[in-house]
């Protein structure tokens, strides 16, 4: 850990971040599609990538694939001349094993970690403080907390978050608490410089109006410019414009989570040619025929008129 890396990530942990999906083909990591994805989004209004977290099916990746995912992504960014920050998603129920994972990834070309609470075992708040403190003390890169209780089975309370936010190597959080009152309370009490990005796609607009620094949104794989514009318009004081922009894209946040994510997003991206296959890994399955029909309707509705007639 260095003060420079911690300060740098804290200053860049804002705006629109993309939890990049991981493309597969015939059971393997699809590096061709990965490079295409990275190049496409790096050319747009995306401020950073999250790799191998929930949307990236990180828990299905083998160790070698995880490293290759990071290496290819950084290589593609370097090739197009953009230094976009990368956070690596890590999760696990054992503090000791998580520390091993931090050691194994310390030399990888990343800028930090997004780390979820230990899943399944549901530790106490005191246990969560000790867990994340041990990881932050040990990590070579700064950490953003990932509070997502409906997946891990345990929530980081605001008192716990405030205690952890004092650690110099914990620079921010992805807020998926799905509790607006808790989020507003934390935003009002967080220490200066501690970044909060919402991860609740359907609550994006209201999280920004409540004071969040940005968002990490699966839905922003689609209509990326429009998702970025919501925040830009709010910063410019154009609340009506931001609300109208949000209304036009909010339907995507419902469609893309109508079945387990990221299968719907992969279906859309494959239809658009950004990835070669909509393949997911078991126990994830591809979208149902019913949802595929709904997605096709929305894809057709959003297609430019000239292309629609063609």
Q: Active-site residue numbers? A: 146, 174
As a residue count, the chain comes to 310
Q: Is the peptide bond before 238 cis (omega within 30 degrees of 0)?
A: no
Give CA–CA dist 217/155, Å, rounded. 20
CA 96 to chain CA centroid, Å, is 25
User: In this structure, are residues 284 and 60 in contact, taking their beta carbons and an 8 Å threshold?
Assistant: yes
Extract long-range pairs of 181-187: CB within 8 Å, 24+ residues apart: 182/158, 183/207, 183/210, 183/212, 184/210, 184/211, 185/158, 186/158, 186/161, 186/162, 187/211, 187/212
Q: Is 55 annotated as a binding residue?
A: yes
Distance CA 221, CA 204 (A): 14
Say how many CA atoms lie within 13 Å of 2 toward its Cβ: 5
Query: Does residue 249 have a known ligand-binding role?
Result: no
Task: Tell me the pairing of strands 28-29 and 24-25.
Answer: antiparallel
Using the 8-state DSSP alphabet, how is residue 59 labeled?
G
Q: Is residue 180 within 8 Å of 210, Cβ to Cβ?
A: yes
| Known binding-site residue numbers | 55, 216
| Known binding-site residue numbers for pyruvate | 55, 216
């Amino acid at each position: 850990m260095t003060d420079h890396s911690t300060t740098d990530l804290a200053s860049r942990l804002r705006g629109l971040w993309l939890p990049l999906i991981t493309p597969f083909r015939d059971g393997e990591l699809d590096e061709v599609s990965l490079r295409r994805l990275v190049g496409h989004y790096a050319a747009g209004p995306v401020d950073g990538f999250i790799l191998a977290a929930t949307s990236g099916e990180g828990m299905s990746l083998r160790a070698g694939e995880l490293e290759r995912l990071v290496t290819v992504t950084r290589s593609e960014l370097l090739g197009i001349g953009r230094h976009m920050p990368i956070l690596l998603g890590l999760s696990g129920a054992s503090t000791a094993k998580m520390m091993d994972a931090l050691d194994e990834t310390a030399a990888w070309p990343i800028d930090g970690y997004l780390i979820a609470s230990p899943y399944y075992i549901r530790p106490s708040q005191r246990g969560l403080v000790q867990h994340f403190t041990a990881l932050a003390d040990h990590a070579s890169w700064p950490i953003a907390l990932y509070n997502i209780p409906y997946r891990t089975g345990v929530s980081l309370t605001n008192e716990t978050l405030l205690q952890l936010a004092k650690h110099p190597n914990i620079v921010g959080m992805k807020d998926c608490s799905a509790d607006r009152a808790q989020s507003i309370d934390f935003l009002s009490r967080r220490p200066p410089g501690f970044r909060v990005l919402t991860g609740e796609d359907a609550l994006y607009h209201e999280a920004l109006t409540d004071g969040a620094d940005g968002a990490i949104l699966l839905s922003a794989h689609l209509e990326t410019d429009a998702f970025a514009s919501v925040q830009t318009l709010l910063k410019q004081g154009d609340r009506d414009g931001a609300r109208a922009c949000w209304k036009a894209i909010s339907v995507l946040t419902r469609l893309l989570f109508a079945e387990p994510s990221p299968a719907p997003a992969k279906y859309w991206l494959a239809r658009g040619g950004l990835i070669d296959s909509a393949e997911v890994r078991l126990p994830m399955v591809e979208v149902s025929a019913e949802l595929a029909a709904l997605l096709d309707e929305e894809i057709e509705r959003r297609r430019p008129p000239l292309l629609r007639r063609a």
